[in-house]
Every structure is written in structure tokens, then in C-alpha cells.
Amino acid sequence: MRKLALGDEILMQVEKPARYIGNEVNAVMKEKEQVDIRFAMCFPDVYEIGMSHLGIQIIYDMFNQFEDVWCERVYSPWVDLDQIMRRGQIPLFALESQEPVKIFDFLGITIQYEMCYTNILQILDLSQIPLLSKDREWGDPIVIGGGPCSYNPEPICDFFDLFYIGEAETRYRELFDLYKNCRKENDSRKDFLIKASRIPGIYVPSLYEVHYKEDGTIKERVILEDGAPETIVKELVTDISNTYYPEKPLVPFLKVTQDRVVLEIQRGCIRGCRFCQAGQLYRPVRERSLEMLKNCAVAMLKNTGHEEISLSSLSSSDYTWLPELLDFLIEKCGEQKVNISLPSLRIDAFSLDVMNKIQDVKKSSLTFAPEAGSQRLRDVINKGLTKEVILDGARMAFEGGWTRVKLYFMLGLPTETEEDIEGIAALCNQIAAVFYETVPKEKRTGRVQIVASTSFFIPKPFTPFQWASQCTKEEFLHKAYLTRNAISGQLNQKSIKYNWHEADVSVLEGIMARGDRRLNEVIFQAYKKGCLYDAWSEYYKNDVWFDTFSECGIDPAFYFARQRTDDEIFPWDFIDCGVTKSFLLKEWRKAKEGQITSNCKIQCQGCGAARFQTGICMERTAEKK
């Protein structure tokens, strides 16, 4: 029997002790004497969030297929256990073996959002691993970062020994073999890091130095070690239908956010919305074969016993074999009483028909993401969704019996005016009007419910808006106020509910997203002053963060409020995600003129990702021939 790392007296006094005991269905146990590499895979947030992440399930499955590797999991202890562990100096442990992370060979941390940066320090701190890479020794695990935020790793580069840029499926085997070899040859830790930097996709921040101009922007990056590459090209899977996919995903005891089978049908997106980072990072679009998905779905349902399956992708409607896949799933799932959930579907006759088949119309609501209130602004952001399409979709939905509609918008987009904001209210009102036109009085069971939500726009690296300025907190709140006022001035205002996001945390996220190496110190100090779980509004300490900026002599506005010049060197320019900076710049210029760009299926725009020679780029070349 496994011995738990925490005693009963601790587990009995913390909230949800099941977060810390492991032993879930499909958890992998190995004999530690029979593996060469022990890998602790961490999602730096609470268990229920981390366990819902597909990427870790893929990596966990892949690593544990390697006979010489045992991959285990680590999540952020919740604030109650955090305090107990600090007081008792209890080292953070991995869930499977319950052994301290500090004895592992690797600690891999997936970095999914900027607001988890202090949680990364918590993980290191509780693990009793030195927070700074430069202070670590061979006895400490190699701390490796990955995930979307590693495309601008600079604000947190001091805390990591290396970053893996891109999709994990391709280069880990090479890295593990190198590690084993370096251990055998008695190389130093530094030797290992230098050698690792020659593996494609691996970035070792300590091998570079950044020099700044007087105005604070970057002057140059200097390579400190011969042979370290100038640019790091992202890694990606070229044959997406013949690769690792977890047929036996972990099934947690606790009810987690994603309590279902997740079937990733494709990677990447053809759309090119100009605010969207994922749409650029994961290019080109690669679709998994229908056959692979059918097999995975059947196996995963059988091995987990889940009651629900969800399709995952950035834009599921664009998947070529969606009708065939859904027919298959509807039949399979009907037999087994499994629910199908379909996020990110475009609302049209096809999707309404499918949703009609698979879910209770009365309970579900429909979601549109126009992102902006006017056609002009939707053209600026290249969101190829017109008012006609939205109203048409709404009309069909109302005819089909739906009465609830959710709408997502962003405030603070580049070039936004008050008219665009009023457009949000007008659009909501028109949708409500469509309901009253379409559904005759005697058939109405009540009022139509329209829920409009706005988030605040945050410019992200590797998007055409990486040059744009971001609003201040006051500007954001003023925009939310205008939206609210505009909505309450509408004829159908009683049918419209309006929610908005918090503004201060959006500013911090914006600073981190486009930050540089000088932010390491701020994050370090903010953590020392107690910042933790910043993604959780009840724990977010805005004052502490902004006090820390001034104590560190850093002006936050430099990072978020400033519009960049076309030729500025960005902290993340040394990473090559496939899409070229010149393409993004062209898109930025077109955006300011309100010109749209068509999607990859209609016409290749020459973004640069075709050099990976896979996915939609190859289909396009095939067509040309």
C-alpha cells in the first residue's frame, strides 16, 4: 500500500483532501528502481483546474509509455494546505508516489495563462527547489516550462532552466536520452543545459543576455555560449493522426471542471482573428483523421466510464469530417447514454440540427462570439461574422425552440469608438427583436434571455495586435459603463443581462503577456509579499502588485499602454512560431484600415507556416498542382 505524504491530521483539516492522494482511475504506478527518469508534470493551479487540462493527459500518457520514464503529477496546493506545508516545512510531493518533487529528475510546468506566475514560484518554493535557475545544482530537478505562455518566456525566464517551445510530442525522447547520457558521462548541469539548447525547440534562457536602449526597449540579444541558437523554432507534430493520444485518460474522484472525455479533433485554426494568439501559435491547421477519432472516442469512453464526451478545437465547425464524426458519436453515445457537448460551433442550420438531436433544447443556451459590436470593428479584428449571419442563426434557433442566447464581446479593441460600443447594445436588442418577430405570442413560454458578456482586450505576442496599446483600468471601466448604459437604453433591455470582467487583473495580464526579463524581479517580489492564486479574484492583490512595480522602479504603462513602433524588437522575437513578423505587421496595417483577410481554406495568405509542410498548407499546394 502507498504511504501518503500527508498525515491524517493534515488531510482531515484541509478542504477536499482527495486533491492530494492520487490513486485515481488510470493513474500510472511504476517501480521507481526500474526507471531512469522521474518526471513531475505540474499544472500550477488547483487540482480541479489542472486535472481538466488535455495537454497534461497527453504528456502523461506519452511519457509513461517510455519504459525508462515515470511521469507523475503535481498541482498547486490550495491556500489552506499551502499554509500548513510552509509551517511544517513539508516538501511538495507528486501524487502517484507521494515522494518529494525535489528528488525528481525533471519538474515540467505547463504555463497556460499569465496569472499563474506566482503559483509557479509557490510550486518551486514548497518543493524546496531554489527559485532561481542560477542557484540550482545537479541534485535539483531540471525545471522546464511549456505551454502557450512559453512563447514569451522572458518575464519568468529566471525561474526556469529551460523551456520547450511548441508541441510536446516531438522532442522529449531526445531530451531524455541526452539527460541520461549527461548523467552517465558525469557532465555538469551547465553542460547538460548547453547541450539541450542544441535540440530544436529547446530554449535555455541562461545562455543569453538582453541589452536595452535608453528608452527601455530592447537594443539587442547577446548569445553567451557558442552554439546556442539565435532563434528557437517551435516544435509541432506533422502527422497528427499517427501520434500519441491518451486512450486511458485519468479519471479523478473529485468533480473537476472538465469531467468528460475530451477529443481533440484538430490543432490550429484557419480563421486568423487578429486578437487571437492561439490562432497564430498553432498554425498550420492539422486535422486528425476520422478513423483515429472514432477509435479514440470508443476506447476513451470504455476506459474511463465517463458519461460525456466533448469535442475540442479552436473552431470545430471547420473540421472537414464533422458531420461524419457526429453521426458516429450520436449513434455510439445513444447506445451508451453518453452526452455529447459541442463547444465552439458556428450557429447555422447544420449545428442547430445536431444540437437538436443531442441535447435538451429547453436547458441549453446558444453562444455567439461576435467579439465586437459593429461591422467596422469586426472587420478590424478580422472576425468573419456578420450581423446577418448572427440574426439568421438566432432566428433559426428561436424557431427551433431555444430561448437563451449568450453573446461574447471584447472592450478596448484597437480603433474602438463609442459607436462600436453602442453597437453591442443594438445587436443584443436586435436579437431580442428577432425573437418577438419569430415566435408568435401564444408559443412564448416567457421572455427571451440574452446574456451579453464583455472581457477586456489584451494584446498578445504573435498576434497582429502585438503592436497595439492596451487600455488603462479607468478606460476599461468607462467602456463597461458605456456598454451598460447603452444596453439599458434599448427597447428590449429587460431581456438583456450584461456581465463584465474585472479590469485591474486584465491590466496585469497585459503587462505580463508582453513583458521582458525585467519583470522577473517584480514577480519574485510580489510572490514574497504574498501574491498567489492571482487568477482567483478572491486572492488577487492588485495593490500589492502595483506597489511592487514602483518599488522595483518599473513603470507598468511601458508594458501595456504604449503603442509599439513598427520596428521595435520585442522580447519574444527570438522565438519563431512559424508565422512571420512581417506577416503580422501587414495584418496590423490592414487592421487599422479595416481590411479583412480571408481564411486559410479560401486563400493562402503567406503567413509563413507553410514551411512546416503539413496540414492545410499542404492541401493548398496539392490543389495548385
In the list 28, 251, 298, 618, the residue contacting other proteins (rule: CB under 8 A) is 251
Spatial separation of the C-alpha atoms in residues 182 and 162, rounded to whole Å: 16
Among residues 500, 559, 504, which one has the least CA distance to residue 534? 504
Q: Which H or E run includes 63?
A: helix 54-65
Q: Which three cell numbers stand for residue 462?
A: 504573435
Q: Is residue 298 a contact residue for other proteins (CB under 8 A)?
A: no
In sequence order, what E strands does 125-281 have?
142-146, 162-164, 202-203, 208-212, 218-223, 232-233, 261-264, 266-267
Reading phi first (left if > 0) and then psi (alpha if -120 to 50, else beta), residue 169 is in alpha
Residue in 67, 198, 224, 254 binding other proteins, rule: CB under 8 A = 254
Should residue 552 be labelled a site residue for other proteins when binding is judged by CB under 8 A? no
Of residues 308 through 347, those in contact with other proteins by CB under 8 A are 336-337, 339
Question: How far apart, in whole angstroms, are the C-alpha atoms of residue 68 and residue 32?
Answer: 10
Q: Which is nearer to other proteins, 2 or 528 (CB)?
A: 2
**353 vs 502, beta carbon nearer other proteins:** 353
Check residue 277 and report its DSSP letter. S
Report the residue number, 25 or 222, with the smaller CB distance to other proteins: 25
247 contacts other proteins (rule: CB under 8 A): no
**With binding defined as CB under 8 A, does residue 290 bind other proteins?**
no
Interface map 11-30 toward other proteins (x if CB under 8 A): xxx---xx--xxxxx-x---
Burial class of residue 332 (count of CB atoms within 10 Å of its CB; 0-12, 13-18, 19+): middle
Q: Looking at beta carbons only, is 254 or 602 nearer to other proteins?
A: 254
Give the one residue of 97, 150, 304, 495 binding other proteins; rule: CB under 8 A.
Answer: 304
Asked if residue 234 lies in contact with residue 578, where contact means CB atoms within 8 angstroms, the answer is: yes
Give the H/E segment covering residue 281: helix 278-281
- The reply on whether position 4 binds other proteins by CB under 8 A is yes
Stretch that binds other proteins, among 8-16, 416-424, 499-507, 602-610 (CB under 8 A): 8-16
CA distance 254 to 243: 29
**Which is closer to other proteins, CB of 24 or CB of 502?**
24
Of 178 and 251, nearer to other proteins (C-beta) is 251
C-alpha span between 409 and 456 (Å, rounded): 9
Set of cell numbers at residue 133: 535557475
Binding flag, residue 568, other proteins (CB under 8 A): no
Residue from 307, 392, 521, 573 touching other proteins (CB under 8 A): that is 307
Q: How many CB atoms lie within 10 A of CB 302?
A: 13
The piece of 246-254, 347-355, 370-378, 574-582 that touches other proteins (CB under 8 A) is 246-254
- For 472, 581, 586, 618, the CA distances from 567, given in Å and listed in that order, are 24, 10, 13, 32
- Whether 167 contacts 281, CB under 8 Å: no
**Kind and range of the H or E element at 309?**
strand 308-312
Assess whether the previous peptide bond of 464 is cis (omega < 30° from 0).
no
Mark the segment that binds other proteins (CB under 8 A) among 210-218, 281-289, 297-305, 481-489: 297-305
Nearest-approach distance from CB 83 to other proteins, in angstroms: 16
Say whether residue 88 binds other proteins (CB under 8 A).
Answer: no
Instruction: Please say which residue, 11 or 278, places its beta carbon nearer to other proteins.
Output: 11
* 257 binds other proteins per the rule CB under 8 A: no
- Give the shortest CB-253-to-other proteins separation in angstroms: 5
Q: Which stretch binds other proteins (CB under 8 A): 273-281, 299-307, 430-438, 610-618?
A: 299-307
Beta carbon nearer to other proteins, 138 or 253: 253
Q: Is residue 543 within the footprint of other proteins (CB under 8 A)?
A: no
Compose the 362-381 pattern: x for residues touching other proteins by CB under 8 A, - for all others: -x------------------
By the rule CB under 8 A, 360 interacts with other proteins:
yes
SS (H, E, C) 542-562: HHHHHHHHHHCCCCHHHHHCC
Q: CB-wise, 301 or 486, nearer to other proteins?
A: 301
| Closest CB to other proteins among residues 262, 503 | 262
- Cross-sheet strand order for the sheet of 37-43: 69-75, 37-43, 106-110, 142-146, 162-164, 202-203
Residue 253 makes contact with other proteins by CB under 8 A: yes
- Who contacts 9 (Cβ-Cβ below 8 Å, separation ≥6)? none
Task: Tell me if 83 contacts other proteins by CB under 8 A.
Answer: no
Give the nearest distance from C-beta 335 to other proteins in angstroms: 11
Distance of CA 512 to the CA centre of its chain: 15
Residue 343 beta carbon to other proteins: minimum distance, rounded to whole angstroms: 18
Q: Which is nearer to other proteins, 365 or 472 (CB)?
A: 365
Q: Smaller CB distance to other proteins: residue 118 or 304?
A: 304
C-alpha cell of 200? 530544436
In 33-104, the DSSP E strands lie at 37-43, 69-75
Q: How far is the CB of 5 from other proteins (least distance, A)?
A: 11
User: In angstroms, rounded to a whole number, what is the distance separating the alpha carbons of residues 258 and 254?
Assistant: 11
- Shortest distance, position 23 Cβ to other proteins, whole Å: 5
Here the cell at position 544 is 500589492
Q: Is 1 in the site for other proteins (CB under 8 A)?
A: yes
CA dihedral sign, ordered 111, 112, 118, 124? negative
Q: Which residue, 5 or 121, is less far from other proteins as judged by CB? A: 5
Find out whether 228 and 161 touch, Cβ atoms under 8 Å.
Answer: no
Contact call for residue 31 and other proteins (CB under 8 A) = no
Q: Is 57 in the site for other proteins (CB under 8 A)?
A: no
Q: Residues binding other proteins: what is the number (CB under 8 A)? A: 34
* 87 near other proteins (CB under 8 A): no
Widest Cα–Cα separation across the chain = 82
Nearer Cβ to other proteins (120/301): 301
User: Which residues lie near other proteins (CB under 8 A)?
Assistant: 1-4, 8-9, 11-13, 17-18, 21-25, 27, 251, 253-255, 301-307, 336-337, 339, 359-360, 363
